[in-house]
Amino acid sequence: MSSSVHGNRQLVTRLVIMATCMFGFGFLLVPIYDVMCEITGLGGRTSETVAVIPAGVQVDTGRTVTVEFVAIVNEQAPWEFHPAVTSMEIHPGQLYDTTFHARNLADRELVGQAVPSVAPGAAARHFQKTECFCFTAQKFHAREGRDMGLQFMVDPELPEYVDRITLSYTFFVQKQAAGQAAVVASTI
Amino acid sequence: MTTITQGHDAAHDHAHDSHGPARGLSRWLFTTNHKDIGTLYLLFALVMLFVGGGMALVVRAELFQPGLQFVNPEFFNQMTTMHALIMVFGMIMPAFVGFANWMIPMMIGAPDMALPRLNNWSFWILPFAGTILLSTLFMDGGGPAAGWTLYPPLVLQSGNSLAFAIFAVHLLGMSSILGAINVIVTIMNMRAPGMTLLKMPMFVWTWLITAYLLLLVMPVLAGAVTMLLTDRFFGTSFFQAAGGGDPVLFQHIFWFFGHPEVYIIILPSFGIISQIIPAFSRKPLFGYSSMVYATAGIAFLSCIVWAHHMFTVGMPLAGQMFFMMSTMLIAIPTAVKIFNWTATMWRGSLTFETPMLFAIAFLFLFSIGGFSGVMMAMAPLDFQYHDTYFIVAHFHYVLVPGALFAAIGGAYFWLPKWTGHMYDETLGKIHFWLSAVGVNLTFFPQHFLGLAGMPRRIPDYATQFADWNAVSSIGAFLFGFSQLMFVYVVVKCIRGGKQATAQVWDNPEGLEWTVPSPAPYHTFDQPPPIK
């Protein structure tokens, strides 16, 4: 009988370790998901850092792609936020500039953070931003409004079937805690 | 400890009655007996069936007509969410753990579960978890109302009572994990000599695989809801886009748990059906080893198909193809099972006692749920079905006439063994027919509603959906109230009735039929000989 108790203990230990590992695995899915999104553009996630355009990219003038801009304000945040133009006809491989306009409607200083998303997901990693107001938090004085720049290029490797790309920005009010979390998330 | 004592006392334990249960409430509070704990689990599940069922009837009453009649939309959402949480975590899972407790030791010739005190614990966590979950309904901000999937960002806008709901999910998960550990250790270490793995009854096999699935995915759910908790209350941004998180991540983590979870619910049902059908066909189960492999195959596939719940969220074409194909693959081992059950009945000497009626209804109606599942597995078609009543019809077909019918059938099947009395066959049959008619009346029209475009989780709807909703509500009330009959039959059976023989049925297979009815408080103190 005591040998069976010993056997039980060993098996229980193994099973408890298994359950504990799976608990950890749940959290491990967070960085795994981030990496998957970076690689595949899953969820329309674009790079959060300045893109380096390799030298000698050919402009593909034979191909025209429509890029649409969408600006969203979430959770009744006190912003006015819209793109200067709602869509552009572009050639892959060429750099383009555009602006988004934001205005702080509150009577106090606010820090905003724009979070980008690209649809379709397959286009996300081909959408290169060399300059973007989404790279940093944007500080606005009370009632201040200004244009914020975006410089981008769609690389010529964009899959054949994509003829329309939508770039959407959601403009959040950055809270203290959220700001720290953003830093943590971007360093993962 | 108990096992050791029993081992030492085996000599004078032959007179089984010398060692009966304690008296009064303490018998139930401190019991380490697998039969007592099994009974507690089953009774808890029965109570929760009516709690969750009552919530479903609130939903169906509101949906009887278009417009808002009885409840406000906020409370309606709490009802749909709580109905699902209670039924999944509070009713169907505890019911099957109850069956496992009662039957597994008796089926493998063991004197008790391997970890009896842990067993007591895993049950007694449940009433507290259930109370915490239900108490959120009376708190500021109400119960969780974002659907049982608890998707952010909506769920993160819940009131502070969300913390209680999450804590309750933690406790329910912990109870399942402890139960699963106990089942695995019992099956692995406590089988009577000669009971090899491939001689175990199918119910034991399905539970072994279920227990491993539980260990694999319940901790992941615990992690997911913990992240919700910290996002909501401690300023992290796992799922908040503002802080660099992604709400879609939650859907991946949740369904990594959620899809195996549906097989956690259905595999023990398969086990029960695999016990009932051979008994009333008077033939051994057809294709036993293929049943074992099919069960293992289903369990494996269930872990790699989760994103078929998320086709409309957006994913690369390759992802859609993978999840579509792997999901449709599940139809193959499931069909192996369905055909094996049918082949078991082929040229058998069939009789149609209540458990068999429920088992046959399971075969038909679970298959209907399976077919609509294959429809939804197709990514292009899923865009039409997603979040409509079609999906509601689908998963209720696999869960109600699927899992619940298997549980009720199993209860009728083993009631005489548990109580020592035959249940009232006539009343049992009436209960079956009322349930069968009620369940189809409730859920079949929901296929039509879904295909016509009625979204799920809404308290009001366009008037063209009125007729089938009325039919569905009538069916729901018929089904709900006919379950009171089940309670009556069970109570009547406990209090008395025709004395059941040890075999109960006509020469069924299995060790549980070799012990007297009612099963003595302690069985198999000496391991039985296995042929």
Write down the residue that tokens 């793995």 correspond to.
B197
What CATH number does the domain containing A132 carry? 2.60.370.10
User: Within a domain: residue A143?
Assistant: yes
- Asked which of A22-31, A122-131, B52-61 is least confident by mean pLDDT, the reply is A122-131
Q: Do A152 and A121 sit in the same domain of this protein?
A: yes
Is the pLDDT at A75 greater than 70? The verdict is no
Is the pLDDT at A164 greater than 80? The verdict is yes
The torsion of the CA quartet B472, B477, B480, B482, rounded to 10 degrees, works out to -110
- Among B7, B115, B242, whose Cβ lies nearest the Cβ of A113? B242
Burial of B120 by CB count in 10 Å (0-12 exposed, 13-18 middle, 19+ buried)? buried
User: Within a domain: residue A188?
Assistant: no
Identify the sign of the CA torsion B214, B217, B221, B222: positive
- Among B8, B245, B314, whose Cβ lies nearest the Cβ of A185? B245
What CA–CA distance (Å, rounded) separates B97 from B115?
14
Q: Do A147 and A91 sit in the same domain of this protein?
A: yes
pLDDT on residue A176:
52
Q: Do B219 and A20 touch (CB under 8 A)?
A: yes
Q: Chain A within 8 Å of B193 (Cβ-Cβ)?
A: no
Q: Do A11 and B185 touch (CB under 8 A)?
A: yes
Q: Chain A within 8 Å of B262 (Cβ-Cβ)?
A: no
Q: Which residues of A touch B315 (CB under 8 A)?
A: 42, 121
B444-469 CB burial, b ≥16 within 10 A, e <16: bbbbbbbeeebebbebebeeebeebb
Write down the residue that tokens 């399942």 correspond to.
B176
Q: Do A73 and A131 sit in the same domain of this protein?
A: yes
Q: Do A48 and A30 sit in the same domain of this protein?
A: no
Phi, psi of B207 (to 5 degrees): -70, -35
Q: Do B215 and A18 touch (CB under 8 A)?
A: yes
Q: Do A126 and A143 sit in the same domain of this protein?
A: yes
Say which residues have a Cβ less than 8 Å from residue B362's Cβ, sequence separation at least 6.
B269, B273, B401, B402, B405, B406, B409
Q: Do A61 and A125 sit in the same domain of this protein?
A: yes
- Among A1, A11, A44, whose Cβ lies nearest the Cβ of B4? A1
User: Omega into A31 within 30° of 0, i.e. cis?
Assistant: no
At A185, is the pLDDT very low, low, confident or very high (cuts 50, 70, 90)? very low
Say which residues have a Cβ less than 8 Å from residue A131's Cβ, sequence separation at least 6.
A50, A149, A150, A151
SS3 per residue for B257-303:
HHHHHHHHHHHHHHHHHHHHHHHHHCCCCCCHHHHHHHHHHHHHHHC
Q: Chain A within 8 Å of B171 (Cβ-Cβ)?
A: no
Question: Hey, which residues does A83 pair with through a beta bridge?
Answer: A100
What CA–CA distance (Å, rounded) separates B327 from B339?
19
Q: Chain A within 8 Å of B527 (Cβ-Cβ)?
A: no
- Say if CB B530 and CB B194 are below 8 A apart: yes
User: Within a domain: residue A125?
Assistant: yes
Q: Chain B within 8 Å of A31 (Cβ-Cβ)?
A: no
| B176 included as an active-site residue | yes
What CA–CA distance (Å, rounded) separates A48 from B507?
70
pLDDT on residue A183:
43
pLDDT on residue B117:
94
Residue B521 corresponds to which tokens in the numbers above?
Answer: 């408080």
User: Within a domain: residue A155?
Assistant: yes
| B522 included as an active-site residue | no
CA distances from B113 to B1, B177, B475 (A): 12, 15, 40
- Among A15, A29, A33, whose Cβ lies nearest the Cβ of B181? A15
Helix/strand/coil for B417: helix
Burial of B193 by CB count in 10 Å (0-12 exposed, 13-18 middle, 19+ buried)? exposed
Helices (H), chain A: 2-40, 121-124, 176-187
Residue of B122, B161, B274, B473 marked catalytic: B274
Write down the residue that tokens 């069922």 correspond to.
B53
- Say if CB B323 and CB B303 are below 8 A apart: no
Q: Chain A within 8 Å of B24 (Cβ-Cβ)?
A: no
User: Within a domain: residue A138?
Assistant: yes
What CA–CA distance (Å, rounded) separates B23 from B136?
35
Q: Do A53 and A140 sit in the same domain of this protein?
A: yes
Q: Chain A within 8 Å of B238 (Cβ-Cβ)?
A: yes
- Say if CB B485 and CB B435 are below 8 A apart: no
Q: Do A80 and A158 sit in the same domain of this protein?
A: yes
- Among the listed residues B181, B190, B204, B184, the one whose alpha carbon sits nearest the alpha carbon of residue B104: B204
pLDDT on residue A188:
36
Q: Do A49 and A24 sit in the same domain of this protein?
A: no
User: Omega into B355 within 30° of 0, i.e. cis?
Assistant: no
User: Within a domain: residue A98?
Assistant: yes
Q: Are strands A79-83 and A87-90 parallel, antiparallel or unpaired?
A: unpaired
In A150-179, the residues whose Cβ lies within 8 Å of chain B are 170, 172-175, 177-179
At A120, is the pLDDT very low, low, confident or very high (cuts 50, 70, 90)? confident
Q: Do A105 and A67 sit in the same domain of this protein?
A: yes
Q: Which residues of A touch B235 (CB under 8 A)?
A: 175, 177-178, 180-181
Q: Which residue of A has its CA nearest to B153?
A: A75
Q: Do A148 and A77 sit in the same domain of this protein?
A: yes
Element (H, E) at B54: helix B34-63
| B261 included as an active-site residue | yes
- Among the listed residues A104, A188, A29, A11, the one whose alpha carbon sits nearest the alpha carbon of residue B243: A188
User: Within a domain: residue A164?
Assistant: yes
Is the pLDDT at A187 greater than 70? The verdict is no
In A107-126, the residues whose Cβ lies within 8 Å of chain B are 113, 115, 119-122
- Among the listed residues A144, A133, A140, A138, the one whose alpha carbon sits nearest the alpha carbon of residue A167: A133
- Among the listed residues A146, A174, A176, A19, the one whose alpha carbon sits nearest the alpha carbon of residue A82: A146
| B302 included as an active-site residue | no
Q: Which residues of A touch B317 (CB under 8 A)?
A: 122
Low-confidence ranges of chain B (pLDDT < 70): 1-19
Q: Do A23 and B219 touch (CB under 8 A)?
A: yes
Residue B528 corresponds to which tokens in the numbers above?
Answer: 């039985």
Phi, psi of A121 (to 5 degrees): -55, -35
Q: Do B244 and A174 touch (CB under 8 A)?
A: no
Question: Hey, which residues does A118 pair with through a beta bridge?
Answer: A167
| B456 included as an active-site residue | yes
- Among the listed residues B3, B12, B262, B214, the one whose alpha carbon sits nearest the alpha carbon of residue B97: B214
Q: Do B235 and A178 touch (CB under 8 A)?
A: yes
- Among A26, A33, A121, whose Cβ lies nearest the Cβ of B314? A121
Q: Supply the range of the domain harboring residue A15.
A: 1-40
Q: Do A120 and A171 sit in the same domain of this protein?
A: yes
Q: How many separate domains does chain A show?
A: 2
Q: Tell me the pTM.
A: 0.90
Write down the residue that tokens 């294709």 correspond to.
B287
Element (H, E) at B9: helix B2-9
Q: Which of A6, A9, A15 to mutate to test the interface with B (most CBs of B within 10 A)?
A: A15
Q: Do B314 and A120 touch (CB under 8 A)?
A: yes
Q: Do A29 and B3 touch (CB under 8 A)?
A: no
pLDDT on residue A3:
57
Q: Chain B within 8 Å of A28 (Cβ-Cβ)?
A: no
- Say if CB A83 and CB A69 are below 8 A apart: yes
Rg of chain A over Cα atoms, rounded to whole angstroms, equals: 23
Say which residues have a Cβ less than 8 Å from residue B24's Cβ, sequence separation at least 6.
none
Mean pLDDT for A67-74 is: 89
Phi, psi of B188 (to 5 degrees): -75, -40
The ipTM of this complex is: 0.88
Q: Do A115 and B223 touch (CB under 8 A)?
A: no
